[in-house]
Amino acid sequence: MKQNYRASMIQLHTYSGLFMGWLLFAIFLTGTLSYFSNEISHWMRGAVSQPGKVNSQVDSAFQYLLKQGTDSHSWRINIADKRGSELSVQWRDSNERHSHSLTAESIEPQESKITRGGRFFVTFHYTLQLRQYGGRYLAGLAAMTMLIALYSGIFTHRRFIKDFFTLRTRTFMHFIKDAHAVSGIVTIPFVIIICTSALVIYINLFTPWFAEEHFDNGYRQMSREVTERLPDISLENRPSTPLSSLGPILEHAREVWSGNVLLKQIRLDKPFLSTGRIVVEGVDVSALTNNTQKLVYSSETGEFIGQPSVEGVSRKVRRVLYGLHEGHFFKLDLRWLSFLQGTIATFLIASGMLIWVRKRAEKKTHNHRLLAIVNKVNLSVFIGFPLACLAYFAANKILSASLLNREEFELAAFNYTLLFSVLAVTFLKSDKSKLLLALVGTLVSGLVVMFDLTAFLRALEGGDNIYASVGVSMWFILFINLFVSWHLWKRYRRRMQ
Amino acid sequence: MVIQELVRQHPHFFHTLSALAGSSVSSVSLGFASIPLYQRLFEFTLSEAVYMSSMTFYLIFLFVFTSSFVKRGPKAILLFNLQLCVFALLINIGLT
pLDDT digits (tens, 9 = 90+) for B11-58: 777 888 888 888 889 999 999 899 988 888 888 888 888 988 888 888
How far apart, in whole angstroms, are the C-alpha atoms of residue B48 and residue A223? Answer: 9
Judge whether B51 and A226 are in contact, CB under 8 Å. yes
Which of B16, B35, B48 is closest, CB to CB, to A312? B48
Give the side-chain half-sphere CA count within 13 A for A54. 19
How far apart, in whole angstroms, are the C-alpha atoms of residue A412 and residue A418? Answer: 10
How far apart, in whole angstroms, are the C-alpha atoms of residue A307 and residue A312? Answer: 15
Judge whether A201 and A325 are in contact, CB under 8 Å. yes
The candidate with the shortest Cα–Cα distance to A233, out of A310, A309, A296, is A296
DSSP state of A276: -
- Chain B closest CA to A147's CA: distance in Å? 7
CA end-to-end span of chain B, whole Å?
Answer: 43
> What ipTM did this prediction achieve?
0.79
Secondary structure (3-state) at B1: coil
**Is the pLDDT score of A405 beyond 80?**
yes
pLDDT category of residue A378 using cuts at 50, 70 and 90: very high
Which of B28, B45, B65 is closest, CB to CB, to A209? B28
**Domain boundaries, given as residue ranges, for chain B:** 9-95
In the predicted model, what is the mean pLDDT of chain A?
88
Judge whether A88 and A49 are in contact, CB under 8 Å. no
The Cα-based distances of A202 to A32, A143, A222 in angstroms read 19, 11, 14
pLDDT category of residue A183 using cuts at 50, 70 and 90: very high
Using CB atoms within 10 Å of the CB of residue B56, give its burial: 0 to 12 exposed, 13 to 18 middle, 19+ buried. middle
How far apart, in whole angstroms, are the C-alpha atoms of residue A62 and residue A33? Answer: 33
Judge whether B44 and B52 are in contact, CB under 8 Å. yes
The Cα-based distances of A465 to A50, A394, A468 in angstroms read 10, 21, 5
- Kindly determine whether residue A318 and residue B73, on different chains, have CB atoms separated by under 8 Å: no
- Kindly determine whether residue B72 and residue A214, on different chains, have CB atoms separated by under 8 Å: no
Beta-bridge mates of residue A89: A77, A100
Q: What is the pLDDT of residues A119-158, one digit of tens each?
A: 999 999 999 988 888 999 999 999 999 999 999 998 888 7
- Kindly determine whether residue B62 and residue A317, on different chains, have CB atoms separated by under 8 Å: no
Amino acid at A54: V
Backbone angles phi, psi at A296, to 5 degrees: -115, 135
How far apart, in whole angstroms, are the C-alpha atoms of residue A52 and residue A153? Answer: 49
Which of A9, A148, A210 is closest, CB to CB, to B50? A210
